[in-house]
Amino acid sequence: MKNGVLKRNVLRMVLGLLLLPAFTSANAEDAKNPKDVKNAEDATTELDPVVVTADFFPVKEKESSRFVSVYTAEELKETGADNLVDALRRKGSFAYNALGPLGINHGGMNSTLSIRGVQDGELVLINGSPIQGAAGQGYDLSAFPIEQIERVEVLRGAASTLYGADAMSGVINIITKRNPSKTSTRAAVELGNFSYVNADVGFQNSVVNAGFNYQHMEGIEEISRSFSQKYRYDTSALNKYSLNLNFTPFENLHIDYLGSYYTTGFKKVYDGNKKPMEGTDQEDYNQFADIRYDTDDLRVKAFGSYSRINRDEYTDPDEPDDKNSNYNYGLEGDYRLDFWATELTVGGDYVYRGADYNNQYGKHHRNDYGLFAQLKREFFNRLMLLVGAREQFIIADSDGEDYNIFLPTFGANFTATDTLNLFANVGKAFRAPTFNNLYYDSSFLKGNPNLKPEMGWTYEAGVKWGIPFTQIRLAGFYMDYSDKIEIDRSQGYPLTYFNAGNYKSTGVEWQIDVYPFANRQDLWNNLSFYTGGYWADPTAEDTEGEEYQTGPKFKTALGASYLSDNLVLQLTADILTSREDNLSNNTTLDFFGKYKVWKGFITAAVSNIFNSTVEVSGDLSSTASNQYVYYGMDRMFKIGYEISF
């Protein structure tokens, strides 16, 4: 049921509910706490979180010159999602692309969360450290359960000055679990159709935080279809094991670990059995660890990440197994001091990025070095100005090219009133070609060793307005790149890469939370609404110099929530329209509920309530050499129980 009358009416109702309180609260004079009318001051604090992604050191989100969103683990769980990548998709600001159910890795091709319509522009971090592989800039957020993280901070816009290469369109920073002062134990189990199981246990105190998660789902038929070559992909059963460990032996010293291992398989089945079925078993490993020393003015960190995928095409004994690995390790240090009423932050980092793709191009590596400095000063107790710069060095192996790039940034935040801040920033972005871009060699894809790095500027300005009734974040942006690396599909297979002459994205992004009954002391006080999303116009020039659309233009989420100590209800509409490559518009409706019983909660969730056919990736354009599409999950029911003591 793609466009039924019932679904349209429900979506109109949700939209109407979102717009109504926005108008009714616009003229409210008595700012009250949406959770507790007796404590309006605490509400302001709660709705003005402290973030670290925008400035290395903690800063109030409202006072930063960047558009930053913070999603706590509890908020992400209340979307009813199955893992981290699925939860972030439902928050509205990402265009989701996947090639497997629940966003799992498919032969080395991971699900992605593009920002503002810019494909492959996001940088993914854990505790501020890069986890993306140098082979293809891939990351597998489906590997991480929501239960094993603290929160996610998302910074929109170029951030290469802060984080070096690859932060073209924004940053997704996953913050690992923090150790609380109180000791507690948790356990949860969730069951659903498709033989779905999600089981989680954990223990935490002021020194140790440890958790284990297991997830299972049966195989899914027809996760994708090639209309041109007449075949489909099915999956075999998914079994996933995840572990987190956070250790704080001394004040300010932290040791963190996140790891996962999962097995699944893919079957390529031709229509009418015109060719034999091709079957592949797959193993995925994802590991991250760091040791950090953090104070108010000093950050020192060592980190490492490792991902590996093993693939065995068991239907062809002569086909060699794929064993593809990516590994990063490095050091980082930053120091902050004050002089002449100016805050100075200086730092440096080193990252070794290696990859080993045994059947495609073997081993490659590069060394990234960066020196960073930032000045920030307040004028008239209202205007905060910021200027920063990074000198980025990339030293490649004998087959690659070295780079030395200067990356400046400028920012401003003006406190117009106690509830209104204006912000703006300008930054230069940079991304080096990946090893896959340069060296990949197969019948499907060949690298282009003549590629140039991507480079460009992003410009952003907006408002941050908040009272306990309403919180609004709104920004206009313009991203202007040269030599953006795109896939050349004009010559058929094998595909290759080219540098697009001009690549631009212009648009607006928003995040709005509304608490229409904040001044009441009854059940209505727990009702809230939100919307987050973007409209953009991402375009590039093809090999002939003709302009084409490179990503989706419109993505938003509309949500209504009832949040109390004993009952949680949330309904979310996820909408993606005006897509690239002739893909269909997507609209799904998801529900999550939680009810307190005894010492725990009963949970229930329904994903894709109307069982819509969702095209999560593909190419259905008339000029495509292979017209294909990957599908999202059908309707999914889940019920569970969680307890903490």
Token readout for 396 is: 């490649």
Per-position b or e across 370-403, b if 16+ CB within 10 A of its CB: bebebebeeeeeeebbbebbbebebebeeebeeb
Cis peptide before 494 (omega within 30 of 0): yes
The predicted model gives 451-466 an average pLDDT of 95
The predicted model gives 93-97 an average pLDDT of 88
Short-list 177, 172, 59, CA closest to 121: 172
pLDDT at residue number 239: 97
The predicted model gives 548-562 an average pLDDT of 94
Least confidently predicted of 12-26, 464-478, 536-550? 12-26
d(CA 449, CA 83) in angstroms, rounded, equals: 36
Token readout for 79 is: 């979307």
d(CA 133, CA 123) in angstroms, rounded, equals: 11
d(CA 247, CA 207) in angstroms, rounded, equals: 6
Coil/strand/helix, residue 361: coil
- For a pLDDT cut of 70, what percent of the chain falls above it? 93
What is the torsion angle, in degrees rounded to the nearest 10, for the CA atoms of residue 398, residue 399, residue 404 and residue 407? -140
Q: Is the dihedral of CA 55, 60, 65, 70 positive or negative?
A: positive
The neighbouring-strand residues paired with 302 are 291, 331
**Predicted model pTM:** 0.91
The predicted model gives 229-250 an average pLDDT of 96
pLDDT at residue number 48: 72
pLDDT at residue number 11: 36
Q: How far is CA 441 from the centre of its chain?
A: 29
* Contact between 60 and 574 (Cβ < 8 Å): no
Token readout for 267 is: 């079957």
Q: Pairing relation of β-strands 170-176 and 122-126?
A: parallel
The predicted model gives 312-333 an average pLDDT of 94
d(CA 86, CA 74) in angstroms, rounded, equals: 14
Per-residue pLDDT reduced to its tens digit, 335-385: 999 988 999 999 999 999 999 999 999 999 999 999 999 999 999 999 999
* Contact between 355 and 348 (Cβ < 8 Å): no
The predicted model gives 468-488 an average pLDDT of 92
pLDDT band at 501 (very low <50, low <70, confident <90, very high): confident
The predicted model gives 386-391 an average pLDDT of 96
Per-residue pLDDT reduced to its tens digit, 97-132: 999 999 999 988 889 999 998 888 899 999 999 999
The predicted model gives 313-336 an average pLDDT of 94
Q: Is the dihedral of CA 283, 214, 631, 558 positive or negative?
A: negative
pLDDT at residue number 330: 96
pLDDT at residue number 47: 55
d(CA 240, CA 83) in angstroms, rounded, equals: 11
Short-list 628, 619, 615, 634, CA closest to 96: 615
pLDDT at residue number 509: 97
The predicted model gives 589-606 an average pLDDT of 95
Instruction: Please provide the average confidence, as pLDDT, over all residues in the chain.
Output: 89
In the chain, the largest separation of any two C-alpha atoms, in whole Å, equals 77
pLDDT band at 623 (very low <50, low <70, confident <90, very high): confident
Per CATH, the homologous superfamily of domain 5-177+195-445+469-515+523-540 is TonB-dependent receptor, beta-barrel domain (2.40.170.20)
pLDDT at residue number 9: 38
pLDDT higher than 80, residue 10? no
pLDDT at residue number 491: 77
* Contact between 348 and 372 (Cβ < 8 Å): yes
φ, ψ of residue 611 in degrees (nearest 5):
55, 45
Coil/strand/helix, residue 636: strand
CB count in 10 Å sphere of residue 33 = 20
pLDDT at residue number 488: 85
The predicted model gives 200-221 an average pLDDT of 95
* Contact between 317 and 119 (Cβ < 8 Å): no
pLDDT band at 624 (very low <50, low <70, confident <90, very high): confident
Q: What single DSSP character describes residue 52? A: S
φ, ψ of residue 9 in degrees (nearest 5):
-65, -40
Token readout for 632 is: 């999202």
Per-residue pLDDT reduced to its tens digit, 49-84: 888 998 889 999 999 999 999 999 999 999 999 899
**Residue whose pair of structure tokens reads 């060793």 in the numeric block:** 449
Burial of residue 366 (number of CB atoms within 10 Å: 0-12, 13-18, 19+): buried
pLDDT higher than 60, residue 16? no
Query: Residue type at 530?
Result: Y
Short-list 423, 427, 419, CA closest to 390: 427
The predicted model gives 192-210 an average pLDDT of 95
pLDDT higher than 60, residue 19? no
Measure the N-to-C terminal CA separation of the chain; round to a whole number of Å: 43
What lies within 8 Å, CB to CB, of 16 at 6+ separation is: none
Query: Residue type at 334?
Result: D
Coil/strand/helix, residue 489: coil
pLDDT higher than 70, residue 41? no
d(CA 209, CA 206) in angstroms, rounded, equals: 8
Residue-wise DSSP of 344-356: EEEEEEEEEEEEE
